[in-house]
Amino acid sequence: MVTLITLSLVSTLLLLGWNPGHEHTSDQPPDESDLADTAGYNWAAPKIHRPDPRTLAVGVTHTQNSIDDWGDPAASASARAVLTASATYQNQHIYGWGAGNPEPSPGTFDWSSLDRRMKLIRSTNGTPVITLCCAPDWMKGGRPGETDWDRLQVAPQPKHYADFAALAAAVARRYPDVRHFQVWNELKGFWDEARNRWDYEAYTKLYNAVYDALKAVNPAIAVGGPYVVLDLWANPKAGGYPSVLAGACGTIDQRSLDVLDYWLRYKHGADFIAVDAGSATRDGGRITATGVNSALFGALTQWLRQRTPLPVWWSEFHVGQATADGQAKLVARAVGALLHMVDQKAAVALIWQPQRDADQREADSPALWSATDRQDGGHPLAYAEAVARLQQVLADPARDEAVTWPVPELGLLRGRSALLLVHLGTSRIEVTVQGRSLPLEPYEVRYIPLRTDRPADFALAVQPAPAAAPADPCLALPAATTRASESTR
């Protein structure tokens, strides 16, 4: 039996300008041009996105290859338009991921590579973010003047925590327009082999030294951490320490949660909490169905918001890798994850590596633009248009609760003048928007402009598969979670 699920709310219609006295007649259907974005996104006239504390801001983290000066000029110009249209925040590390050693010797600075990336961010109207990682070699046992890239991810020695904090302060003074700093990256170098856990005590000492130094430069600077990976296991006994956060997607490692608990309790202060996760489990990389695993990021956001009032930043969120023929599925999975973040009121989501590698035969994560090393590069990819459209709808929300899930495989983001749909299922479905039937292909992301003189009614006809029992959630959160104790100065 075909079930008709109708999602038409009076409050939404009023926000969209619906007049209750207006008679909608079926003999005057909306024009196709009013309900289908046939022309595509206009990259030549992108809107500038600014952070809005009321909703999710989507940004990027530049990595080794991005829109650099040595790229092809035409490709770089195209990529700049894509970046401007799709990213709110733009994040850059101080050492590594496209930046050289900022302080090769004590007191001797080389800002050239970081200056180039900051110039890129400013020229594309990004709100800059700096990740304070990694440490110069002399802070971790190397010789002054030495740069050993094989030791990039080694943590600074405790005796040099003050030196690293001083470097962070120097960065803040050089780039006074940067008001958001993440302290370190994924606790690199802070694994304690003897205790088989993260050395969160040492990390928190480093964090506190950096926090104090940055606030001394400018109290308005926003500082966040601990940028920990929330590891996911398919088999809780495969090597992790199982926590109570478990479900169809897997089990979160308790050792990651211990980092959050300790940091929340003993940090000197923070302006946001930064985390990182991926859809794949650590043991074998098992990934559940797209309609299920995209909910991982919403469930974790919900759990974090129960633990702390700090804004939740997704410093990285990974949805898998695929060759060109599998990218549509990854894009749908990523957009689904973003909608779940919006639904649970995450503050920021940073897309890792927005530029695709030059070799498209390799499996890769979804990216925003193609490689800029040749003239035909720098073109927007499907993920870029989806993100640009998402931000376009978020900038004009229909109501506070803008996201709905008619079924787990279909996400709906409502704006005043448009809808954004993401279909996470494997079979074609039909939806009806303002009286017109539209097909959605598997893993399709669809932007649908709305006519403001018609009710913003939406319906979905689905053929539900028979199920013996309700599907298990991606993560089943505890019934009640106690908020962690936080000390602030």
Query: Which tens digits make up the pLDDT trace of 64-116?
Result: 999 999 999 999 999 999 999 999 999 999 999 999 999 999 999 999 999 99
CA distance linking residue 434 with residue 424, whole number of Å: 22
For residues 286 and 270, give the distance between their C-alpha atoms in angstroms, rounded to a whole number. 34
Q: In DSSP terms, which residues pair with 385 in a beta bridge? A: none
* Amino acid type, 132: L
41 contact partners, CB below 8 Å, separation of at least 6: 85, 380, 385, 388, 389
Say if CB 180 and CB 138 are below 8 A apart.
no
Q: Which of 26-40, 274-288, 360-374 has the lowest mean pLDDT?
A: 26-40
Q: Tens digits of per-residue pLDDT, 155-210?
A: 999 999 999 999 999 999 999 999 999 999 999 999 999 999 999 999 999 999 99
What tokens appear for 206 in the block? 């480093």
pLDDT in tens, 209-245: 999 999 999 999 999 999 999 999 998 888 879 999 9
pLDDT of residue 460 exceeding 70: no
> Distance from CA of residue 136 to its chain's centroid?
28
Exposed, middle or buried: residue 485 (CB in 10 Å: 0-12, 13-18, 19+)? exposed
Distance CA 460, CA 417 (A): 20
Q: What pLDDT digit, counting tens, does each position of 304-352 carry?
A: 999 999 999 999 999 999 998 999 999 999 999 999 999 999 999 999 9
The confidence score (pLDDT) of residue 338 equals 98
The secondary structure of 132-201 as a DSSP string is E----GGGGTPPTT---GGGTTPPPPGGGHHHHHHHHHHHHHH-TT--EEEESSTTTT-EETTTTEE-HH
Give pTM, 2 decimals.
Answer: 0.90
Band of pLDDT at residue 26, cut at 50, 70 and 90: very low
The partner residues of 61 in beta bridges, in order of sequence, read 91, 352
Whole-number pLDDT of residue 18: 32
User: Residue 410 — pLDDT band, cuts 50, 70, 90?
Assistant: very high
Q: What is the pLDDT of residue 357?
A: 84
| Tokens, residue 440 | 């959605």
Does residue 381 register a pLDDT over 70? yes
Distance CA 57, CA 186 (A): 21
Classify residue 277 by its DSSP letter. E
Cα–chain-centroid distance for residue 253? 21
Of 416, 60, 482, whose CA–CA distance to 261 is shortest?
Answer: 482
Average pLDDT, the chain: 87
Beta strands in 185-241 (DSSP E): 191-192, 197-198, 222-229, 232-233
